[in-house]
Structure 1
Amino acid sequence: MNFEIVYDDDDILVVNKGHGLLVVPDRYDKDLPNLKDLLTEIYGRIFVVHRLDYGTSGIMVFAKNERSHRSLSIQFERSEVDKRYYAICKGVFPADLTCMLPISKVNYHGRYKINFKSGRKALTSFSVLDRFSDKTLIDVVPLTGRSHQIRVHLKALGYPLYYDFLYNEKREDKRLTLQAYYLRFRHPVKSTTMEFQSDISEFLREILKIS
């Protein structure tokens, strides 16, 4: 299975999703494997709180009941959840910076773009972890929650994800060099701080070895 159960109690489920797995059923092909259905087979009814792209790996939280779903959804809507990503971009990223460029959807194919007229506010913090000859490992903190936010901001800055079939070179491999490695939120029932972190994925490690 392309996922790992990290934490499980009566109210929430925390999962480490692998690269190349849908979170919810595909609109056009319902038979494609997706994390929600896989978890439902094991746990019964599961509520999706947030999503990761098919090609992105990382830590996710799911709710097991309506009360928990409502509480967690509010935390995400109010930007009270701390999310951090590893990203490998193409090129040598120059310096730590914060990107403030508004984003809007281009068309029904799922692409987004920078749009100063009607785009929604989007804010992303980038910190360089390691530089290589043709790529950079970056720590990313999305301070807003727009679709494709990290991918679009990196593209706009001139340093798209090293693997990104939409915003970089087209390729058969739909995995992205993006991993949601850290998640912190308030437990929806106990109100305690829940904090989860994963090591850099094997896929990202392999990409960093490519010269």
Structure 2
Amino acid sequence: MTHQIQEDQQELIELFPQREHLGLRLDKYVADELPELSRTYLQQLISDGSVLVDGLVRRTSFKITPGQIVTVELPEVEETELLAEDIPLDVVYEDSDILMINKPAGLVVHPAAGHSHGTLVNAVLFHAPEISIQGSTRPGIIHRLDKDTSGIMVIAKSDRAQTSLVEQWQAREVRKQYLALVSGVIEEDTATIDAPIGRSSANRQQMTATRSGREAITHFTVLERFEDCTLLDVAIETGRTHQIRVHLAFIGHPVVGDALYGNKPSARVAERLGVKRQFLHAQSLSFDMPGAGERVTFEAPLPSDLSVVLEELHSEETDADSVV
């Protein structure tokens, strides 16, 4: 079957596995059927949920069976040249396979509408020019952090690292921990939020908890309670867009400083403490090192704009204790 690929517009392609395809991995099957696209790019599409088998999201390692229908959605890609830009990176660790960075708040991860330059991808291409673009606007990008979320990120520098990390993400073998300051005092010491997330019909810039959304699971542990806010250690099993922010707002405790999902109480806390952006920081990532296989953990220290907020909260507690 011949497939015409047009990456300048959104297109759905249906593939129909035959008897000879029995047992092939999903990524291998689609790569064989669509040689115009690199396997690395296709693995990213699978990870993003843009490749479905009988309407269901599957892992790259899923085994194909004749009679199934494989649907590939090629996202709209702007015709923009990716340029290497000398943007400083806070490198936590680097070898021939991976690059670990501490992303600052305010830095967009990859080019998109309105952000064709000055992104993390532009910086990575300058720092590690050996990373191949391979037809993608997200070379080496395995996961994302929102523009105003700081913290640890891993970049794949080699094909084997890309394959290994994508598979670990899909198998939920990567441990992702965040530090979040939320509005209000949470009584539970630990809790799990299990609520599907989808795009809001009222505001296309927002995501929302909805039964028709994709599975999303967030765990949190209370680290400290203050007068009108709570410091949380947050771990996510899934990686939906804005997941932590949506889930915490869903239970009535939005992230302090979150302009998109916050409410009046969280805005008051942010104003009182001088929080200029969402208090959300990716503090650690744990995964199996590509190639070697040993379990590793990389951490990113809390940036100064957030650490001064915690200092202020602790100072308020000390002052309150001294009055008593």
Q: TM-score, normalised by structure 2?
A: 0.60
Counterpart residue number, 1:183: 285
- Structure 1 residue 2 displacement after superposition: 6.3
**Which of 123, 128, 147 is the aligned partner of 1:38?**
123
Q: How does 1:58-137 map to 2 (within 5 A)?
A: 58-95=151-188, 96-106=190-200, 109-116=204-211, 118-137=212-231
Structure 1 ranges of 4+ moved more than 3 A: none
Q: Distance in 2 between matches of 1:139 and 1:8?
A: 26
Counterpart residue number, 1:202: 304
What letter is aligned with 2:219?
S
Q: Distance in 1 between matches of 2:209 and 2:287?
A: 29
Q: Distance in 2 between matches of 1:41 and 1:53?
A: 21
Q: Distance in 1 between matches of 2:247 and 2:258?
A: 13
Counterpart residue number, 2:141: 48
Contact 1:165 1:174 in 2 (8 A): no
**Which of 3, 8, 27 is the aligned partner of 2:113?**
27
Provide the secondary structure at the position in 2 that maps to 1:154: helix
Provide the secondary structure at the position in 1 that maps to 2:90: strand
Counterpart residue number, 1:57: 150
Q: Distance in 2 between matches of 1:20 and 1:175?
A: 9
Q: Distance in 2 between matches of 1:180 and 1:113?
A: 21
**Could you give the per-residue CA deviations for residues 95-154 of structure 1, whole angstroms, max 9, x where no partner exists?**
1211111111115743111112x1112111111101111111100011222111111110
Higher normalized strand content (fraction of residues): 1
**Could you give the per-residue CA deviations for residues 10-37 of structure 1, whole angstroms, max 9, x where no partner exists?**
1110011111111112322313x21111
2:256 pairs with 1:162: yes
Provide the secondary structure at the position in 2 that maps to 1:151: helix
Contact 2:92 2:300 in 1 (8 A): no
- Structure 1 residue 72 displacement after superposition: 0.6
- Structure 1 residue 67 displacement after superposition: 1.9
- Structure 1 residue 68 displacement after superposition: 1.2
Q: Distance in 2 between matches of 1:81 and 1:122?
A: 15
- Structure 1 residue 198 displacement after superposition: 2.5
- Structure 1 residue 58 displacement after superposition: 0.7
Between 80-89 and 193-202, the greater mean CA deviation after superposition: 193-202
- Structure 1 residue 64 displacement after superposition: 0.7
Between 178-187 and 106-115, the greater mean CA deviation after superposition: 106-115
Counterpart residue number, 2:42: none
Contact 1:55 1:174 in 2 (8 A): no
Contact 2:88 2:123 in 1 (8 A): no
What letter is aligned with 1:5?
V
Provide the secondary structure at the position in 1 that maps to 2:126: helix
Q: Comparing both chains, which one has the higher relative contact order based on Cα–Cα distances under 8 Å and sequence gaps of 6 or more?
A: 1
Higher normalized helix content (fraction of residues): 2
Unaligned stretches of 5+ residues in structure 2:
1-86, 132-138, 317-324
**Could you give the per-residue CA deviations for residues 140-174 of structure 1, whole angstroms, max 9, x where no partner exists?**
01122211111111001000000111101589x87
**Number of equivalenced pairs:** 208
The percentage of counterpart residues that share the same residue type is: 38
Q: Distance in 1 between matches of 2:288 and 2:164?
A: 9
Q: Distance in 2 between matches of 1:61 and 1:123?
A: 21
For residues 119 and 174 of structure 1, do their structure 2 counterparts lie closer, same or farther at Cα, with a shift above 3 Å needed? Answer: farther
2:236 pairs with 1:142: yes
